[in-house]
Amino acid sequence: MNQRASDAWGAMWSVVDWARKWQISETQAHNLRKHPKFPPDATVVIGARCVRFRAERLEEFAAILAMESKAIAYPERLTRGKQKAAAARRERDTAATWIAPAAPVTAQAAEAEATAT
């Protein structure tokens, strides 16, 4: 690619560059081209089997994808169930700590108990 074309189009990435920068596979990068919000002007065909992508457009696309994948709120009914389970575990654990441990049984203690009765 000549310098004039590079200046006119800005920074260009190959699919390999794109995949490495986004830490995805090349197949996933190609599949993202089919995404409905993929910018149509991001792809530049330079020649047969020579495709480059405008870095600026891909960065804008990344921002769009990031906004779409915001954390989804956890359903309230599941939250209540988790809270109940955690409370039951806490109650079980605290109840177990209040039980006095049994005294160790030794031969002398067993003999003393047998003679006392």
pLDDT, average across residues 80-98: 75
Contacts of 18 (CB under 8 A, 6+ apart): 29, 53, 58
For residue 56, is it within any domain?
yes
For residue 31, is it within any domain?
yes
For residue 51, is it within any domain?
yes
For residue 82, the enclosing domain spans 1-95
Q: Is pLDDT at 18 greater than 50 in this prediction?
A: yes
First to last CA, the chain: 104
Helices (H), 1-117: 3-9, 15-22, 26-32, 55-68, 76-97, 107-116
For residue 30, is it within any domain?
yes
For residue 109, is it within any domain?
no
For residue 117, is it within any domain?
no
More confidently predicted of 5 and 23: 23
Q: Is pLDDT at 103 greater than 70 in this prediction?
A: no
pTM equals: 0.50
For residue 60, is it within any domain?
yes
For residue 43, is it within any domain?
yes
Q: Please report the pLDDT score of residue 2 as a whole number.
A: 44
Q: What's the structural domain count of the chain?
A: 1
